[in-house]
Amino acid sequence: MDALKILLVEDDENLSFVLQEKLNFAGCDTRTARDAVEGFSIYLRFRPDLVISDLQLPGENGVELVSRIRHVTKSNVRTIYISANLGRFGSEIEREMGRPEVNFLAKPFSSGELMRLVSAQ
């Protein structure tokens, strides 16, 4: 079976490194981006099975990034949004909550919580 392909969009370098290491150790093929522009470009080339994105990014936020991916690819994108301040994105989160392919993790979260969501199909 092929490795799960994951795009991780996180502007905190240290967190991005730690999460990428954990995901790769679990057998995933993980690419990283630091902002929505880089994330969009990598998505189009890499075509991951899952996008893990911080909500608060420089420029576009994570919801805007995933919305743009959906618009261009005309497909649903399995997504895990992460944020230390989910409340700041209230209306955007409400729209996303109804989507079966979307999950949320509040920072700080455990490796177990992340891996549970990553492995859920």
Distances (CA, A) of 31 to 60, 87, 89, 100: 19, 28, 25, 24
pTM score:
0.94
User: What are the structure tokens assigned to 80, written together?
Assistant: 């895990």
Residues contacting residue 114 through CB under 8 Å, at least 6 positions apart: 19, 22, 52, 80, 105
User: Class of the 5-119 domain?
Assistant: alpha beta
Predicted confidence (pLDDT) per residue in 31-44, tens digit: 999 999 999 999 99
Q: Across-strand partners of 52?
A: 8, 80
Q: Domain limits of the chain?
A: 5-119
Nearest alpha-carbon partner for 9 in 47, 67, 62: 62
On whether the CB atoms of residues 49 and 4 are closer than 8 A, the answer is yes
pLDDT of 52-87, one tens digit each? 999 999 999 999 999 999 999 999 999 999 999 877
3-class DSSP state of 84: coil
pLDDT band at 89 (very low <50, low <70, confident <90, very high): confident
Asked whether residue 92 carries a pLDDT value surpassing 90, the answer given is: no
